[in-house]
Structure 1
Amino acid sequence: MTTLCATVLEDLKNLHKPQDFNTTIINNCIRNPSLRYCNSSPMMDLDEIFKHTIVASHLCNESNNPNCVESFPKIDLRNRPNIAPLYLSFTFFWKFCPLTVLSIDFSNNSMKGSFPNDVFFCTQVQSLDLSINEFSGEIPIQSFSPLTNLTFLNLSYNSFSESEISDSQFFKKFNSSSFLHSGALIDHKKFTIKAIILLVGFPILVILMVIFLGWLCFQRPDFLPRILQSGRYTFTPAILKSATFGFSNKNLIGKSEFVHIYKGVLRDGTKVKIEMYWDDISKDSYHRFVEECKILSELNHKNLVKVLGWCNGRKFRAVITEWIREKSVEMWLSESGPSWNHRVKVLMGVVECMLYLHEEWPEVDYDLKTSSVLLHDNLEPLISRFQIGDRSNSRKKICKFGAFLLEMILNKSVQEDFDGNDAGFISYMRTLHPPDMQKMIDERMDVTETALHHVKQVLSMGVMCIDQSNNEKLPSLAHLYNIVSKAYKDSIVLPSANHKTIHGDRAKGHKRVQFK
């Protein structure tokens, strides 16, 4: 077969017409004007006709017809995949297809591509078999019109495009057996199945999508675009569970009977602290809890830990704040013995935050213990515990600040004597006179003589804050701000060389001074 193909191609390329070829063709047309090449238009292309005779000769030999080259009734190339595509490529042969050819069989050759339109030049053909191939695309129904003698057609087992061929006259001329598994016929059973799937599947798909979107909205709104997130401060149990890796013990940083504190990471990478309360509260209490959280979420100051939102589960409620891992002021005072300049900077941040809350959110109460105030970057204090309280508790807030101020200045041993009993510490401080308190000042502070005035002034102000016996002696928050602000501004001015340092050794122009 391969030899034949090579011979055909070689013949077409290398052979030349014999000298009498033109005369022979002309005589043939005179004897038999019905020959297809005799009626070709425009004028006869003798080179193409010569090529046609070579191919026709091979096909005639393949048909084992004793009348070759003049006539052979069938082109039979089924089951010959190496030769069939070659002959289909010879357009000139099909153009001059011998009138004797009545049957064409190219079946079972695995040929690919569109329908071979060149075979339509053989208008006399009665049988055409292109089955068991891989032809694709549309079946050119209109092109079959010239094939008036065609009585047998087999296009089965191909991959033609599905069309409404069964409704045409072309289909009625043959029958469904000509198009079995051709891909051209509409499979009504398959169509019915598709229709059922569409009619049943589409509503199910819509329901599933609604359920999925509902789950996103109510369980994981953090997956939605921010513009579609209804509750900016509302967290769901599913979000918290994901943020804490399923409330794992690895993320549990604190625990009591009713409160669990977790460290978590939200989907956008924000690190958070989650305080979960497992106590049962009434419906009214829960509504108050939500209202409080809404207010606390609106607080915005550099010296306040940011409340990001809240959560209400079936078994717990939670408050979510930004994660601050820095140490508390209490630890800072105990470990590093900071200078007066650094301590007054922390006091300045606290009093600024108090002024902000007093002016913007007077209903917010807060805890000013050194154990609950945290230190962030650049010694910025952060008030971390606050809640909605009584608007008229300004006296209580100033008293808290006085105690905080004394804790910032006095020696740690004084506070340790009361073992965290704030009421006892404040009561004891109220019994002391200023000279007695000055002896308790933390000696680790680097206090210059220039700053000594401010230290004493701030200390006296702290005593006034915790003295609740006389309303006239109670300083206002504005007064506290002015005193601390003045001390802070003077502290950031570097001391000159001739300044003397309190508690320093006698060296380099400095001398040691004790509070007496």
Structure 2
Amino acid sequence: MDLVIGVLALAYLSSFVAPDAQGDALYAFKTSLNASSSQLRDWNPDHVNPCTWSKIACDGEKHVTSVILPNMGFSGTLSPRIGILKMLTTLDLQGNGIIGNIPEELGNLTSLTMLDLENNHLIGEIPSSLGNLKRLTFLILSQNNLSGSIPESLSSLSNLTDLQLASNSLSGQIPEQLFRVYKYNFTGNQLNCGINFSPHCASGNAGRSRKSRTGMIVGIVVALLIILLLGCFLLLLLWKGGHKGYRREVFVDVEGEVDRRIEFGQLKRFAWRELQLATDSFSEKNVLGQGGFGKVYKGVLADNTKVAVKRLTDFESPGGDAAFRREVEMISVAVHRNLLRLIGFCTTPSERLLVYPFMQNLSVASRLRELKPGDLVLDWPTRKRVALGTARGLEYLHEHCNPKIIHRDVKAANVLLDEDFEAVVGDFGLAKLVDVRKTNVTTQVRGTMGHIAPEYLSTGKSSEKTDVFGYGIMLLELVTGKRAIDFSRLEDEDDVLLLDHVKKLQREKRLDAIVDQNLCRNYDIHDVEMIIQVALLCTQSSPDDRPAMSEVVRMLEGEGLAERWELWQHLEITRRLEHERLQRRFDWGEDSIHNQAAIELSGGR
């Protein structure tokens, strides 16, 4: 009986031992930190239960679970007696002036989940005993004067999600396992990241968040991974398209001046009513223009965003609504600073609409030929920028999209001007979205008379070289300010087409007569000569003789034009002589009319 009473008494007394021991340890901790008389005044050794003290939290069994003392201005050291608080989960001492070493006894705090000693004056090595803190989630030791290597024992902290060791004097190799931590920072040290990571931190720049750690681990091959994943995705699309009986066309950025914010499915699907309200029921007063693909209306969305809404004609695409959506999404992936960005689309059983940003400076054509009182004339430097920007946009469509995108209707009316008067090519890829079988003969060849390449007009087959031809005509529009066909010049049959008119004046060396009079001679005649030469190279009758758009870009930038122009002149002289010879051969004269009739009548019966 006495033994039982003794055990019970011991147990009863022991319930006071833990708080007393905790209080003693915390009071020693306060003393070691050199807390002033005004700091932690209620940490009184006569009050044996520290759960009543400020900055202290306890659980229901009076175990101290957190000590939170940030930015208190302490200047002392860390007492090793803190190591007896086995139930402590949080120790926060950041932003003080604490000196000395980190006690090995902190490794006894096996319940600890957060240890924050940032921004103090701690010295010495990181204790390897911290590897015993298996529940530790946050280890913040940055902005101290710690030295030596990072203990390998920290690699065993499987719950660690935030490791901050920046701005110390640490050296040696970073344990590889620590790069798997969700968030870490090793910057401001002299650390070696190891064989796989040394390019990133040989100079102490190893700090990365978890969001970028994959880039560190596989930084050199990350681009390959993206390409492989994208390739698999495209193959899947192609495979599905082939099994549905129609050809899938996929447009993918590979290089160039690309807006990197590219995502599949980024387009907004608008409701019909939304666009109807935006355009005031597609009022004629809001018509911005009209072309082979339909009318374009100015619109204002509910959030006051200004847009341009293209209402397609001949909209019924093979495969119906789903195919239309897929093609629109694929076209939207072709993103370049000189290409008009597609915002979204709308489909109904009877409508197909595309939504673009509103270009406040409208089109090049309108700026050349539809000036209103007070409108500024496109100056010569702007026209040069438009020429180069348009060339870069078309180069991107032809050479950096897979498969290439053929515009089919390159002209000044389809080159828009943003707020900085930079060229933005619109209407590219639209031929895919309409059913050309529903069109009549005059529109089956997509394009505008005067801009259409001869081989496209005769065969109906387009290529990137048909775009080059249209681009050449657009250059002539830029220089002259005139339309591609001008029926006011009917009295001179050779001058109805702008191309023929410019060729004639160029042969006569009358360049000044070519240039838009609205420029009032404010231009560089050498620039004019260069652009005319590029335009004539682009509009050669044979598509094989025309340069690729990448070559056009280089020529406009001053590379390779002289050589191609010299060759063109030789070819042009030969062609003109051959044309004159044929004219003489078939020039029968008035006396030959009857003979010609006889020949015709003598043909096969």
- TM-score above 0.5, yes or no: no
If the TM-score is normalised by the length of the shorter chain, which range does it land in? Answer: 0.3 to 0.5
Normalising to structure 2: TM-score of the pair? 0.36
